[in-house]
Each structure stands twice: as C-alpha cells, then as structure tokens.
Structure 1
Amino acid sequence: MKIHKEGYASIFISIVVVAIINLLTLFFVSPAYPVLGSIVTVITLVLLIFILSFFRIPKRIHAEGEDIIVAPCDGTVVVIEEVQADEYFPDKRLQVSIFMSPLNVHVNRNPVSGEVLYSQYHPGKYLVAWHPKSSTDNERHSVVYRQNGKEMLVKQIAGALAKRIVNYLKPGDQVKMGEEMGFIKFGSRVDLLLPLDTEIDVKINQKVKGGVTVLGKW
C-alpha cells in the first residue's frame, strides 16, 4: 500500500501538529495529570493514523474489458435514476451516484478508456454529499469521456468536509480505464451521467471499489 501524493502536505502538517501537542502534553500535562496525558496521546495518534489511512492507495487488480464501466471511486451506490442533464448534454441521462465516506479510499479513477472531451471545474456550495442538490449546487469538477462514439459525464462533487477537488485531465487526453483521474479530500461523492440504454449491474446501497467493481455495460 502506498500514500497518495495529494496527502504529503496534509500528513507532514499533521505529524508536526501531533508532535507539538504530545511534547507540550509530556512536559506540562502528564507530570500532574498522567491519565489525561495518556488520553491526549492516544487521541492524537488515532487521528494521525486516520489521516494516513485516508490517503492510502491499496494494491488492487483492476477490471478489464472494452464495453464495461467500472466504479470511479470506492463508496456506496446511493442513486440510480433517470435525470435531465444539467451540463454538457441536452438530453436525459441515467445517473449513478456513489457516496464516499471519510473512511473510503479517495482516489478517483477513469471509469472507461477513451478520449477526454470536456474537463471543467465549477465553484459552489458545500452541502452534505447525499443532499439531492449537491450534484448541481456544490463545488464540483466534470469530465466527459468518449469511447467508440458513446459519451458519459463524471462529476467529482465536494461534500460538507471535502473542500478540495483535484482533477488531472484535460480535453484531448487519451486515458485508460482504472488510471487515476483525480482525488477528493475528506468525504464526497461521484456522479456518472450515462446513456439511457446502459445496462446497470449494481444496486442501491451496494458497496463498490474504484477500478474494480463493474457498474454496468454500454
């Protein structure tokens, strides 16, 4: 397992803060209140371990196939419904939304191989990620992929805690399924807007893994 490059600064700052807190506790708290000093040490170390785990990149065998769509992130499927596209597409699309908790791996991956047609950042609000309007009102980054004449849009959506979206793609890029497309820090969701005739192979509340779970075929 590796640590994602987006976490280097956060992890460094966290280590410095934890070290300072524990040194101050050691000299000024523990001598008079040893139990309290131990509690502070345990809590800060647990928080540091959490931050380290948040930026983890576990080793996985990614799915392969020409007509499949894989999950772009780890999380839970919370929406499968037909919607009117609010961006790029003028027609109705099949929306699949995946909620990412702070405990999930937060690397985002390309759901298909193909060409990037569109890549656009949108500033916005920070509603909780499961709020229906988070898809259209929150900070987000949208990417459109084209494969064999078919197109899909993927939105990285910030949540109440996630306030930094990273996306590495630009129009004209040729990408491979399962490779990194970006990263979202601290809880969020990812929406996919797919053609209406897409065959969906997942269900509501199903747990999925980025680059591994097959969401459907198109």
Structure 2
Amino acid sequence: MNLAPGGWRYAVPPALAAVPALIFSTGLAAGMLALAVGVVAFFRDPDRTPPLTGIVSPADGKVSVLREEGDRVRIGVFMNVWDVHVNRSPVDGTVGSVEHSPGAHRPAFSKESDRNEKVHVRYEDAEVTLIAGAFARRIHPYVEEGDDLTRGDRIGHIAFGSRADVLLPPEIDREDLAVEEGDAVTAGESVVATGPEEELLT
C-alpha cells in the first residue's frame, strides 16, 4: 500500500507501543494497534486514473464550496477523516508559484475557513488552494515552481484534514460545471468541469 510521505512516522510509534502495552492490558495493546491501522488508512495513497478530458477534482470528499469570484468560479472539496488526503492536479500545466499563507485553524467546513492557513499552487490560469483545518495543521506540498504537471499528478497532502479548492480558468463558467454542492468526488478522477479540451489545459 502506498502511503503519503510521513505516514509511517505517525503509524510506527503506536504499533511499537502495542508490544510493551501487552504487559499491562490486552485492551490497551489492541487500542495501540487499532490506532496504527487507522493512521495507515488515513495516509493511504491509492493510484488514480484520470479521464481523457475535463478538469478533475483536487481532492477526495464532498463539494462544499461552489461560488463565483469575479469572472472565475471556485470549487472547494471538504475532506473528512475517512477520505484520502493526498491532493492532485486538476489540470495539465506548469507550476508558476507555490505560496504559503499563514492563518487561523478554523473547522474546514465553516465559512470562516477562508481565513485559515493555506498553500496556493498557481498555474498559468488556474489555481489550487490547500486549506488547513482545526486539526489539520500541516500542509505538505510536493511541487515547486517550474514543475510540469499532468492532470491527476500528486501535488501535496494535508495531514489530518481538510479542504482543497480549485479556482477554474476564466473561460470556464457555471454552465461548464459537472458537479453541485454536496456531490461526492474522487481526486484525480472525478470531472468537476468540462469544455473544449484545448480550453482545459493551462
């Protein structure tokens, strides 16, 4: 099983602690093992196969934000504790910049999460924003300026949370959207917007 970077660092300590815990309680040892298994599940990083066309979701979860910002449309995906937390590129393109913005750590499903700590991954005319939450306080980008990406490539993960947004290219409007608020999506596979193929490449 593939794990996101750092996954074993969280999983190994409770697994090792289960051995001496047997001296005191089988229940405690079982709890330590269950915690280790849970961490492995949380950091799982399955392979994904993007569709041939379309802008794909940057995250697993449910669409929690869908709004217009000037002449652009933003789609936000909330990741709960059961979702895969590895984020993926929604478009083909070259990374123009990766910027960290400090901020609060509000629950990712609340409106106040727009003020949370973020990492912005910018392309020529699209942008992915990884947003920390109340418990997710570590954003780990995998990419840097100048990297050439293909739709579905891994771009980072958020340890223990929380939301990933994609600000769509200006030529994509609401009529091109393939999702609504509340829809379940899969990172790198679920199409969130459609249009002429040449318009979907950044």
TM over 0.5: yes
Match of 2:66 in 1: 80
Deviation at 1:92, TM superposition (A): 4.3
Deviation at 1:9, TM superposition (A): 1.8
Match of 1:205 in 2: 182
Q: Which has the larger Rg?
A: 1
Deviation at 1:209, TM superposition (A): 0.6
2 CA distance for matches of 1:44 and 1:13?
A: 9
1:184–1:58: structure 2 CA closer, same or farther, 3 Å change rule?
A: same
Q: Does 1:192 align with 2:166?
A: yes
Match of 1:143 in 2: 121
Deviation at 1:121, TM superposition (A): 0.6
1 CA distance for matches of 2:35 and 2:12?
A: 13
Q: Among residues 120, 123, 147, which one is paired with 2:102 in the alignment?
A: 123
Kept in 1, the 8 Å contact 2:126–2:167? The answer is yes
Q: Does 1:101 align with 2:75?
A: no
Kept in 1, the 8 Å contact 2:58–2:165? The answer is no
Structure 2: stretches of 5+ with no match in the other structure: 196-202
Match of 2:2 in 1: 2
Question: Which runs of structure 2 are paired with 1:1-218 in the superposition (5 Å)?
Answer: 1-16=1-16, 18-19=17-18, 22-23=19-20, 25-27=21-23, 29=24, 37-65=25-53, 68-83=54-69, 91-135=70-114, 137-146=115-124, 151-194=125-168, 195=170, 197-198=172-173, 199-218=176-195
Where do 4+ consecutive residues of structure 1 move more than 4 Å?
A: none
Deviation at 1:108, TM superposition (A): 0.7
2 CA distance for matches of 1:201 and 1:94?
A: 12
Kept in 2, the 8 Å contact 1:82–1:196? The answer is no
Match of 1:87 in 2: none
2 CA distance for matches of 1:196 and 1:100?
A: 27
Kept in 2, the 8 Å contact 1:75–1:98? The answer is yes
RMSD over aligned Cα atoms:
1.8
2 CA distance for matches of 1:9 and 1:125?
A: 25
1:127–1:196: structure 2 CA closer, same or farther, 3 Å change rule?
A: farther
2 CA distance for matches of 1:208 and 1:2?
A: 20
The residue type paired with residue 5 of structure 1 is P
Deviation at 1:190, TM superposition (A): 0.5
The residue type paired with residue 97 of structure 1 is G
Give the length in aligned residue pairs.
192
Deviation at 1:132, TM superposition (A): 1.1
The structure carrying a bigger strand percent of its residues is 1
The residue type paired with residue 163 of structure 2 is R
Fraction of identical pairs, as percent:
34
- TM-score, reference length from structure 2: 0.87
